[in-house]
Amino acid sequence: MIVEQTETTYAVCLTRKVAEPSDFVELIADSTTRPAFYWEHPESGEAVAGLGAAVEIRCSGPHRFAEASRRAVDELRKVGRGGVEGPGPLVLGGFGFSDEDASGRQWREFPSVRLFIPELTWIRTGGQCWEISVSGTAGGSLNGDNGRGTPPYELASESGERQVPASNWESRVEEALRLLHDGSLRKVVLARSKHLDPGAVVCAADAARVLRDSRPQCFTYWVRGGETEFVGSTPELLARVDGSAVQTVALAGSAPRDPDHRRDRENAARLQGCEKNRSEHDIVVQEVKGKLTDVCGSLDCPETPEVKAFPEAYHLATPISGRLARRLTAIEVAGLLHPTSAVCGIPSSLAASLIAKGGEERGWYSGLVGWMRADGDGSFAVALRSGLLDGEAATVWAGAGIVEASDPRAEAEEIESKMGALASVLERR
């Protein structure tokens, strides 16, 4: 829902066209300002970097997307423009997988919703680069924190952090298969995390550079809280809104890469013809189409998915686009789609219950990262292939879709491959 223009302005936004920075990662790495945000999609040329919080938005609960959208648009429209050329201010940040804040201390700076209007933003779009500064703020954070101190919720103790052990994996999959066989569950996505050795982890900036350069077809992101940093590279666009145009990608079904070129090609060919993976993928496509049909006058969706190649895996992908029948913001569309069965399951309530029962506390893993303008245009991607850095320690996450034909050991190997892709970037060689 777009709110009406607010008459009261408490800040001024100055936008100027600038020479393109040699490296958007360096804009964040060269500053100690917190919070900070970096996002880049090399294939499309889109990049955003933001420093400092003129205003910060945090909320939680079942209506968090609607509340976050309303607050974001309202706060962005309170920022007066010092000129008319170029883009206005952006709101940057992300959403956790769950509607509620995580209890573990490791997620202390990444609550269910954390968005901010940066004091300084750089954006590259349409072959041009702009610098946007917001100054003269009077309100600060909407939760009274300004993003630099203790989050406005009680932190759990160190013992509140939970890591699902590998030894528990098969029993979790077997429980899911029992529910799948009796028909009460159609699919569930189970995930695991792995702690990397303290002291053997590279800095977030180095990780972001490697991910961006090695995965140009993905959205590379880096969100710096205070003491902790969330970094990753995801192939999955959840919602892009540009006027009335909306885009998303259904991504589900995977096969491992192989260093042998012949076997690698065979893996890709088998994925395209695999009944189990195609069934898993079609579930996601139909779910996404069903949700978008309610708000779109028409949809464009290919009948056959593409096989997309990424360094650690092949994935089945179906791009879906349409025209919104009524104006919705990127945050609202993202909230309509999240969580898809690609990260949760069907039915989502039972899948989410099974995920929680297994001890998973995902935080921002399989949540969303992205940005939005005052008019509601923006992009949000699913936070996959992600790691959380806390000083010299780091944790990585990965998940696998479980359907009736799943094999526990094969799914465990898939997760290890996905976690290994990020761990190999984060660990010092």
* Whole-angstrom distance, CA of residue 10 vs CA of residue 354: 46
So what CATH class is 11-155+169-426?
alpha beta
Given the residues 56, 161, 236, 414, select the one marked as catalytic: 236
AA identity, residue 159: S
Long-range contacts of 211-214 (CB under 8 A, 24+ apart): 211/385, 211/422, 211/425, 212/25, 212/40, 212/42, 213/42, 214/311, 214/425
Neighbouring C-beta atoms of residue 324, cutoff 10 Å: 18
Give the model confidence (pLDDT) of 309-345 as tens digits: 998 889 999 999 999 999 999 999 999 999 999 999 9
Beta partners for 315?
Answer: 254, 308
* Whole-angstrom distance, CA of residue 420 vs CA of residue 176: 24
pLDDT tens, residue order, the chain (429 aa): 333 333 455 678 888 899 999 899 999 999 999 999 999 999 999 999 999 999 999 999 999 999 999 999 999 999 977 666 788 899 999 999 999 999 989 999 999 999 999 999 999 988 899 999 998 754 444 443 333 333 433 333 343 344 555 558 888 888 999 999 999 999 999 999 999 987 778 899 999 999 999 999 999 999 999 999 999 999 999 999 999 999 999 999 999 899 999 999 999 999 999 998 999 899 899 999 999 999 998 999 999 999 999 988 899 999 999 999 999 999 999 999 999 999 999 999 999 999 988 777 899 999 999 999 999 999 999 999 999 999 888 999 999 889 888 888 888 888 888 888 889 899 876
Given the residues 187, 229, 280, 312, select the one marked as catalytic: 187
* Whole-angstrom distance, CA of residue 31 vs CA of residue 93: 18
AA identity, residue 330: A
Query: CA-CA distances (angstroms) from residue 343 to 42, 253, 396?
Result: 24, 12, 16
CA angle 141, 142, 147 (to 5 degrees): 30
HEC per residue, the chain:
CCCCCCCCCCEEEEEEECCCCCCHHHHHHCCCCCCEEEEEECCCCEEEEEECCCEEEECCCCCHHHHHHHHHHHHHHCEEECCCCCCCCEEEEEECCCCCCCCCHHHCCCCCEEEEECCEEEEEECCEEEEEEEECCCCCCCCCCCCCCCCCCCCCCHHHCCCCCHHHHHHHHHHHHHHHHCCCCCEEEEEEEEEECCCCECCHHHHHHHHHHHCCCCEEEEEECCCEEEEEEECCEEEEEECCEEEEEEEEEEEECCCCHHHHHHHHHHHHHCHHHHHHHHHHHHHHHHHHHCCEEEEECCCCCEEEECCCEEEEEEEEEEEECCCCCHHHHHHHHCCCCCCCEECHHHHHHHHHHCCCCCCCCCCEEEEEECCCCEEEEECCCEEEEECCEEEEEEEEEECCCCCHHHHHHHHHHHHHHHHHHHECC
- 236 catalytic, yes or no? yes
* Whole-angstrom distance, CA of residue 208 vs CA of residue 233: 8
* Whole-angstrom distance, CA of residue 279 vs CA of residue 26: 43
Tokens representing 166? 């590998």
* Whole-angstrom distance, CA of residue 400 vs CA of residue 265: 22
* Whole-angstrom distance, CA of residue 199 vs CA of residue 228: 15
Burial 56-66 (b: 16+ CB within 10 A, else e): bbbbbeeebbe
Tokens representing 211? 């991910």
- 357 catalytic, yes or no? no
| Predicted local distance difference test score (pLDDT) of residue 345 | 92
CB 385 within 8 A of CB 227: no
Maximum pairwise Cα distance, the chain = 64
CB-based contacts of 93, cutoff 8 Å, min separation 6? 35, 37, 57, 113, 114, 115, 116, 223, 369, 371
* Whole-angstrom distance, CA of residue 426 vs CA of residue 201: 5
What pTM value is reported for the model?
0.90
Give the model confidence (pLDDT) of 20-70 as tens digits: 998 999 999 999 999 999 999 999 999 999 999 999 999 999 999 999 999
* Whole-angstrom distance, CA of residue 56 vs CA of residue 69: 13
